[in-house]
Structure formats: structure tokens, C-alpha cells
Amino acid sequence: MQLEDIDLSKLASFGGDMPDHWFTFLREEAPVWFHPPVDDCPELGGEGFWVFSKYDDIRSANRDSRTFSAETGPGRTGGGIMLRDVDQALGSNMIMTDPPKQQRMRQLVNIGFSPRAVRRLEHYTRALTRERIDGFLARGECELVSELAAEVPLQVIAEILGVPASDREKVFTWTNKALDDSDDDDRMNAYIQMYAYASELGQEKKDRPTDDIFSRVVAAEIPDENGTPVRLNEFEIASFFQLIATGGSETTRNAITGGLLAFIDHPDQLERLRSDRALLPKATDEILRWTSPVNYFRRTATRDVVVRDQTIRAGDKVSLWHCSGNRDEDVFRDPFRFDITRSPNDHLAFGGGGAHYCLGANLAKMEIEIVYDEMLNRMTEFEVAGEIERFYTSWYLNVFGGYQRLPIRFRTLSD
Ligand code: HEM
């Protein structure tokens, strides 16, 4: 195999299975590699980009926002976290902003995602999971993504954001369409509708605040660069809503779905977990390491910097491949083994630490633990029962990978 064989812009390379052979090669031969521009990929804007594939380099870059910006770099009109440049959303929400503004935005909502706040949602999440399983248990089969894996995170997010029950269906449709590549107009319309809805709901929460995070965000004042307290503007409010609604659902659904496929391939691990539920937290971390639902995030170099003898120039795009760092042989013993007792397991699924470390990490872990706990209480002998449909994101250039459909069959434990 040669470097020329590798093309990380190709959609079919992702969407569930990672091109592990490429990353293994890169980690060994070219851990900091300049991916050349790709002619038939207009989303890249004719530019190449750096690929970091080693755990330590990803972590260091994640922790150095001054050098590796999530907003933009010199000479660029717009960077952001995807390999394609975006202009509009830059600086409008925490994930596409650098400290100190990013920290100020994050402080507004931090408390809503603390371990304590997440514990308060456990009861709701468990009841919801049981109810969804009740809906298909007697059939002995289901389509896992739509009937459980997508549904639980979406409903929990809606609860956190204070979306009234009557509006949830349409918000879910928009979040799905926003990431769906099949129709460009549909995708744009979904964004427009979601932003309009978020502004309206935001106004309502300002007028009649309720006990949810969104009410808190619209009312809060954060100091600007001069220390003057200001509120988020209408666009920033809508952008926050969209970030939480999509970021909090797409990722967790792919961890749950990919996790079940891993268990189907490793039935001994499933039985181990069934007989010892104290392993749930460790198993969840292994599911996250194994599935790495956010393949990469991109940064832009703000200055010339040398990493592993390679000179990265100010303004260059730098991509940090969590999915590769999570298979790094120098950090994880036997990285291609799915091992629910793995310890330590300091994976990069939520990023490598630093300012942007996933805000929803505690929440996602809680959801995954509960979904598996409840499935194991009532279901056994899982098998794939139809065609698995992958999920690709060409607009996002492979940021997310995962599943659109996973039909499964199982035996209920009372059988
Ligand atoms: C399995 C589930 C999830 C995965 C794999 C995941 C992954 C990530 C990753 C890789 C980052 C970027 C870290 C960095 O660049 O350093 C991130 C940031 C973020 N995540 Fe998650 N996430 C998940 C679930 C959630 C949930 C449930 C929520 C919210 C409800 C959420 C909200 C966010 C937000 C707001 C940020 C940006 C934080 C910042 O910029 O300060 N995520 N996530």
C-alpha cells in the first residue's frame, strides 16, 4: 500500500466501517501527513489538509487552541471544524469559536450537563427506553436505529431544551434532514426551519421561562471582550439550539448502533456484560472507543508550527482523526480487540481534552449505559435481520459516520 492510495474524502470509506488499514499505515509511515487536494471533491475547495493520526498528536492539538483554531486562521475567510470551509456559523456557537469567547458561551450551559444534572435525567431516560422497547419486544425484531438508538437521545435532548411534546416530531425531522446529503435544498430548508423555530422558542422562553437549559441560555448575560454583560443575539441562540439538537443526537445513536454490531460480532463480551452489570461504564467506554462516532474534527493553524518534523504553515487545515487515535498501538494494547473490561481506556471519542472536550460526554455515557442495561434485561441472541444501511455525510465531509438502518432479530428473555 502507498500514500497515494489514501483518499479520506471518499464517502464510501466511512459510514460505519472505518478504513482502518489506511490509518494503520499512516500511523506507521506518515503520522503527520499532508493529504493532497482531491480533484473530484469540490467541498475541499481545491485545498489539501494535514492528517494527524497518532493519539498523542491529536491530544496535544486539542489542548492548544492558540495554535490550532476551531474558528479560523490567517488568510482564511472561514474555517470551522469540518474540512470544508463554512462562513456563516463561525463564532456563533461554542464549537466554532476559540477561547475566551468559547469559554464564556460554554459557561452558560455547563451546569446543565454536569454529572448531577445528568443524574436527574436518568429516571426519564430509563422510562423512555423501557417504553420504546415495549413497542417492539413482542415482535422479536426491530429496526434498531429508528425504534431505539435515535429515539432515546432525541427525546432526552428535547427534554433538556424544553421543546414541547407537540413540536418534537418536526424538530426531529429537521435534525435528520440537516445531516442528510440526499437533497441539498431539503438540507438547507431544514436548517432554515430549525433556526426559525429556535428563535421563536427562544423568544417564548425569554417571555415565559421554564425549568430547562434553553430558558437559561436565552436569559443569561455573558461578559463580552470588554467585560460588558451582553445576551446572546438571535442567531447565536438559534445556533446553540441547532448545535445541541444535532450534536447530541447523531453521535449517540451511532454509538448505540455500532455498539450492538460489535456485540453481535463478539457474543462472549455481551454475555460477560449481561452477567456483570457493574461493567456497564467500562463497556460504554469501549463502545465509544470502538465506534468513534465523530471521525475527525478540523482546526486551522494560526502560526507556523513543526510537528514530527513536518512544517505546518499558518492558515493550513489540520484534521484530528479520533477514530485513528483510538486504534493507536502505542496507547491501546491490542487495539483491534473489542474488550469491555479494557482499562485504562482513555479514548478520544469525545476529543482529546482541552477547551472543546465534549459538553455532552456525561449525558451520552448515561444514555448508552441505560439503553444497554435495559436491552440486556429483556433481550438476548441478537442477530442482524436485514440490510444494514450506512450513513454518509458528504456535506460534512465524513465528520460523522454511522448507520441509517440496522434491522435486528432477538429472543425475548421471557421466551
Ligand atoms: C456518543 C456521543 C458523543 C460523541 C462521540 C461526541 C463527540 C464530541 C467531540 C469529538 C467533540 C469535540 C471535542 C474537541 O474538539 O475537543 C464534541 C464536542 C461537543 N459535544 Fe459531543 N459528542 C457526543 C454526545 C454529545 C451530546 C449528547 C451532546 C449534548 C447534548 C454533545 C454536545 C457537544 C457540544 C456542545 C460540543 C462542543 C463543546 C465546545 O466546543 O466547548 N455531544 N463532542
Q: Tell me the pLDDT tens digit for each residue of 383-406.
A: 999 999 888 777 677 888 788 899
Query: Are residues 150 and 159 in contact, defined by beta-carbon separation less than 8 angstroms?
Result: no
Residues 24-34: what's their mean pLDDT?
97
Q: Which domain CATH number covers 153?
A: 1.10.630.10
Ligand 1 atom closest to residue 97's alpha carbon, by position in its atom list: 40
Weakest-pLDDT range from 74-88, 196-210, 279-293: 74-88
Ligand 1 mean position, distance from CA 93 (Å): 13
Ligand 1 atom closest to residue 62's alpha carbon, by position in its atom list: 16
Q: Which residues line ligand 1 (CB under 6 A)?
A: 62, 94-95, 102, 106, 157, 243-244, 247-248, 251-252, 255, 288, 293-294, 297, 322, 349-351, 354, 356-360, 363-364
pLDDT the model gives residue 288? 98
Is residue 16's pLDDT more than 60? no
Ligand 1 mean position, distance from CA 294 (Å): 9
Residues 255-280: what's their mean pLDDT?
97
Is residue 182's pLDDT more than 80? no
- Split at pLDDT 50, 70, 90, the class of 11 is low
Residues 363-390: what's their mean pLDDT?
97
**What global pTM score does this model have?**
0.95
Residues 287-311: what's their mean pLDDT?
96
Ligand 1 mean position, distance from CA 247 (Å): 6
Identify the residue with better confidence: 279 or 82. 279
Q: Which domain holds residue 363?
A: 3-412
- Split at pLDDT 50, 70, 90, the class of 339 is very high
Ligand 1 atom closest to residue 157's alpha carbon, by position in its atom list: 30
Specify the number of domains making up the chain.
1
Is residue 226's pLDDT more than 70? yes
Is residue 14's pLDDT more than 80? no
